[in-house]
Structures are given as C-alpha cells and as structure tokens.
Amino acid sequence: MNPFFTTYNTPHETVPFDKITIDDFEPAIMKGIEEEDKVIEAIVNNPQAATFENTVEALENSGELLQKVTEVFFNLISAETTDEMDELAQKLSPILSEHENNITLNEKLFERVKSVYEHTNKDELTKEQRMLLQSCYDSFVRNGANLKEEDKQTYRQLTSELGVLSLQFSQNKLKDQNAFTLHITNETDLEGLPESAIDAAKEEAKSRNQEGWVFTLQAPSYGPFLTYSAKRELRQQMYMAYNTICTHDNENNNIDIVKQIVNHHREIAQLLGYKTYADYTLVKRMAQNSETVYNLLQQLLVAYKPTAEKEVEEVKQLAREMTGNEAFDLQPWDFAYYSNKLKERDYQINSEMLRPYFELSNVKKGVFGLATKLYGISFQLNQDIPVYHPDVEAYEVFDKDGMFLAVFYCDFHPRKSKKSGAWMTSYKEQWTEKNGKNSRPHVSVTMNLTKPTAEKPSLLTLSEVETFLHEFGHSLHGMFANTTYRSLSGTNVYWDFVELPSQFMENYAIEKEFLNTFAFHYQTGERLPDELIEKIVRSRNFNVAYACLRQLSFGLLDMAYYTQEKEFDADVKEFEKEAWKETQLLPQVPEACMTVQFSHIMAGGYSAGYYSYKWAEVLDADAFSLFQQNGIFDTATAQSFRDNVLSKGGTEPPMDLYVRFRGQKPSIDALLKRNGIRK
C-alpha cells in the first residue's frame, strides 16, 4: 500500500519516511492531480451562484493529497536526493506545471472567483477571509487568467520550461560542487590550518578511502581553509574551484541556463502586462516597486561604502606588512586570511577560539532555551518520529500551557546528497480544519554545520551559531502559525517580510545573558569567559561595512537581471561584473562567476527579491531595539511579537502587523547605530 494514500500511523501523523520508497512518489502525485481535478470540476459545475464558501474556500481546501506528496518530494530533492530522484523531478516538474496552469487558466473557474471578488460584501468577511479572497483573485490574474487563448498557451509553455530550468540549475550546482576536492598528502601544506579543519579533512579522506586530507567546497571545509591556510597558492586553488562552479565546459555548465531563466521570467512578466519581471514581482512585496528597492540599496551603499573602503585598506596594509612587500596585490583569495589576521591583532579573537564553547548539543539547548525564556515553549526529542536520514532529529514542541504546538526536524550536517546553504521548510503547514481543530505544523531546518570527528563532537563557529538562530527564527514563524487557511499560514508572507523573524533571532548571538545559558567548554565545562564575550561584542562590527557591500552586490546583481526589458543575451560574466561594480573593493577575477551558482535568484524564489535580506535587516534592528529597551528576555514584548507578527502569517498586510507590534514604522537608524555607522 502506498503510504501517501492512507492516514499516517505515526506520532502526530508525521511523514513515515521509513515506509516511503521512490516508487511511491509518481503514482501518489498522479492520483493527487486526479483528485484535485475532480474537486475543481465540482466547483466549476456547481449550479449554485459562486460564493466565498463554495468557490474560494473550496479551492483553498483542494489538492490535499497532492500537497502532502509534493512537500515531501521537493524537500527531499534539496535535503537527501539521489540521481533517481533528480531524474524523477525532471519528469514530474512539467506535469505539475501543467496541472497548476490547468487551474489558474480555467476560464469557468476564474469566472466564479471573479464573481465572488466583485460581488461579495467585503465587510461581511473577516480580515483573513478578505486576504484569502484578494490572494486567490490576484493569483489567477498574475498566473494568466486574463490572457487571450493564444497567450495562455505561451504562458503554459514558459512556466513549464522555467520549472525544468530551475531544477536543472540546482542539480548542476550540487553535482559540480561535489565534483571538486583538494587532496593533500604533504603535511606541510596544512600550515596555518586549525586542528578542527585538519581533523575534518582527515575524516573526509577516510570516508573516501584516501590517505591524507581531503577538503571540499562545502561551507565547513571551504570557509576555514580560505580563512586560515598559510598556503596562498592552495587558497587560490580553492577559491577558483568554488567561484567557477558551473562555468566549466561540461554537462553542469549553467551559463546558458541562466540566460534562459532570466528570459523566461521577463517573457512571463511582459505577457502579463509588466515591463520587467521586477515590476511584476514587486507589486506583491512591501517594497512595491523597483525604485523603492534601488533607493534602499543606494542609501545603504552611500552610508556604508566609505567605511568599507577603510576596512579593506586596513587589511591590505596588514598584508603588506606581513609579506614585507609594499606592492603586495591583495586578491579575493587573500581577503579572509588577512582580515582574520587583522581581527586577531586588533581584538585578540578568532572563530577557532570560540569553537570549544559552541558544542552543538549545548548550542541546541541554548537556542531551544531562548525560545523557552521568550515564549514559554519546550522541546522534547521523540525518536519514534521517523526521519529521512540518521543525522536528522525530530522534536515535539509544546506551548507554555503544555498543549502540543508543532513537530520540529533538525538536519545539521553537510553530505553529498544535500544542497549547500541553510533553509527552513515545512512538511505540513498549520491550518484550522472544518471541525474547528487547529491542525499543527511540522517544520524543519536544514543546515550544513561543522560535522563531528572521531575525536571531537560538532564544535561550531559563532557564524554557525548565528545560522542556527536564523533558521530557528524562520521555524518559530512556522511553529507559532495560528490561522484559518493553509495558504496564509506561517512563512507564507511577503518575501521581504519573511526574513524578519529569522534575522531578529541573530541579534541574540552576541548577548552575554544568552551566551551564559549554554556556552560552556566541551571538555572542562568552563563558561565562556567574560573577557571573550567582551571581545565578541567589541569585534561585532569588524568588517561590517564590507559585509554589507557584499550583500548589496548580490541585491544589485539580482535587480540587474530582473529589470531587463529586452532579450538577455549578454556575456554573463561581464554582465555580472558591470552590475555590481560599485560594490567591489577587491580585484574582480575574470574567470569567477557568482550568477551560475546563485540559487536564491535563479532557482530559489528570490528572483527580484534578494534585497529582502537588507530590507528585513532594517526591520530586525528596529524590532530588537524595542527588546533592548524593555529587556532582551522581556516576555511581554516577546508575546506581542508572537501575537502580532509570528502567529499571523500572511493574514494581514505586513506593515500593519509590524506597526501594531512596534508602535511605529521602521527606519534605518537602528541598523546604522547597531553597525556603528552612526552614533
């Protein structure tokens, strides 16, 4: 029996990963399509006049089986894929695109939705119902419902092809990233590397049945190598390998795929009556238009660039001093190495000094404990909940009154079958069933944190602790969801609002009161010394302006692609270098190319939306300033944040939610103050 066809006989009806095989997905997806088609047919052929209940709500509640299967399938494509899964995804993606188009391009169905939209007395609906109605109507219009028949066919073709292209982009990136290793057999080539990086490389070599040390392009291997390796030629080799992913003359090259993705987005937008894809996208964002986005990016560029230039000059000066070469030409593969040396000199701190205090099990206790302090919720490991890989842990989450709140999966470490980066996702959204039961969510965070070795447990950097806090913030947005409708639940909010809960949590990473709850030496049990905490706080803004310009460069690159009005056929590498030149403070390497591995904007939903990270940073700094004013663990402020932001999902306009919590609209002042740009 196909596990998807029955109610799951597992704790909280969690996904029975141990029972599902690859052969279960396709029949379940096809049956899910068939079932939803029948529901759509019933809505369309309903002899009664269209109402909110028999049309919009009925549509919202359709496709339950299909969603159940696709949530599992596409989450596993990112977290635990195989060649067979990738092939199946290529096969199913156009079928799913066609199915979605069959719904939004169904004329009779749209007529009913339009009738409800135009003839319903909105005052008789709740705020959430009004939002659902607006969202439903807009979804049809924005997905081609008003197009002529000929244009609908074009739209079908473009969206179907775009789905396959995005999938291919991601698959190519994972394969090309996995294809490279730096195999070291001479111990002198390890000069400068910390014990943690050497141990991890030794483990990697063992896992591949090789002698010596193997370094990969996965973050916990690549990052420390660039930061600590004293061998410049090897740093260059690693840098070039990473920054030329998907540019090589092989089947994983993404250059042409990028052009097709950009053009498909543009053509879809223009088909729908917009000049550019950014114009189309930003209508449904807090920013609303390209001008607002560029204003924010330029405002930040003007504020941060002078400081960033000074930061880079200081690194260059130190590199000249250390090499004894006044003409030393600082290259991108040198920056992390020499900036780390500068940080050690000026602040007597580096990430390796902190690792022993950030043992993963303690960090978990700290992060979970923070949620307990703020919101009163608790976490209980449940090993009876099936997981999709031995690395994954599943927790039951209980509210402060003891009621079950959510299931929370944690997947911490890199592996060949997992995408790079870190993300939060759901295996089941929250919604309110017809009988009034609040159906609770199953959320997951997937990361690529430092792995344990034979000698040591997983010891994290402060940056990795921040990553955990970030993704955990997203998960709280999912866990606290308390809405009627699934499509408005949890993180189903405007893209430039979704990063607020995640980036807000990062603020705690340098707070002494928080660090004192979990940062204990993994061997001695000694608490992280106050002296080190002071160094963390003092060094918080080290190279902060340089980091800001890096984020701005990605935002400008994204906007450059998606404000194209004509067919894009430029040299991708040259286009990239031109698009972000204002933000580049180091020499640009001709062969390097970010675009071809920039999954966020090519395959991850951030197309014309990467600015969201900086937009939300303004919000998170402003929001945290209220906690600083009232106490960083103040439960009343936390409850207000939960009630007005975290639990509301997309049920109201995000600025309304934010102002209700904060009492005012945000400005960039709190961010500039936090970063030391403005006193």
List the catalytic residue out of 80, 204, 396, 471.
Answer: 471
pLDDT band for 678, please (50, 70, 90 cuts). confident
pTM of the model: 0.96
Label residue 668 by pLDDT band (50, 70, 90): confident
Nearest to 161 by CA among 248, 280, 262: 262
* Assigned token pair, 221: 């291997």
pLDDT tens profile 448-491: 999 999 999 999 999 999 999 999 999 999 999 999 999 999 99
Q: How many Cβ atoms from other residues are within 10 Å of residue 73's Cβ?
A: 22
pLDDT number for residue 22:
98
Over range 374-399, report the average pLDDT: 98
Collect all residues with Cβ–Cβ distance below 8 Å to 231 and sequence separation of at least 6: 189, 191, 192
pLDDT at 506: 98
Domains and CATH numbers, the chain: 3-146 (1.20.1050.40), 180-243 (no CATH), 356-540 (1.10.1370.40)
471 among known catalytic residues: yes
Residues 154-187 have pLDDT tens digits of 999 999 999 999 999 999 999 999 999 999 999 9
Give pLDDT, residue 271: 98
pLDDT band of 263, cuts 50, 70, 90: very high
Instruction: Give per-residue pLDDT as tens, 43-69.
Output: 999 999 999 999 999 999 999 999 999
H helices within 283-357, ranges in order?
290-323, 332-347, 351-354
Place of tokens 């939060």: 424
Q: Is the pLDDT of residue 16 over 80?
A: yes
CB neighbour list of residue 6: distance below 8 Å, 6 or more residues apart: none
List the beta bridge partners of residue 398.
378, 404
pLDDT score for 8? 97
The whole-angstrom separation of Cα 48 and Cα 668 is 52
- Residue 655: the pLDDT is 96
Where does residue 257 rank: exposed (0-12), middle (13-18), buried (19+ CB within 10 A)? buried
Residue range 188-246, pLDDT digits in tens? 999 999 999 999 999 999 999 999 999 999 999 999 999 999 999 999 999 999 999 99
The pLDDT of residue 86:
97
pLDDT tens readout for residues 64-85: 999 999 999 999 999 999 999 9
Strand partners, 527: 520
At residue 533, the 3 state secondary structure works out as helix
- β strands within 365-478, DSSP E: 378-381, 393-398, 404-411, 423-428, 431-432, 438-439, 442-446
C-alpha pair distances (Å), 378 with each of 108, 178, 474: 48, 38, 17
Residue 481 to residue 646: CA distance in whole angstroms: 7
Neighbours of 395 (CB within 10 A): 18
Among 57, 70, 20, 167, residue whose Cα is nearest residue 428: 70
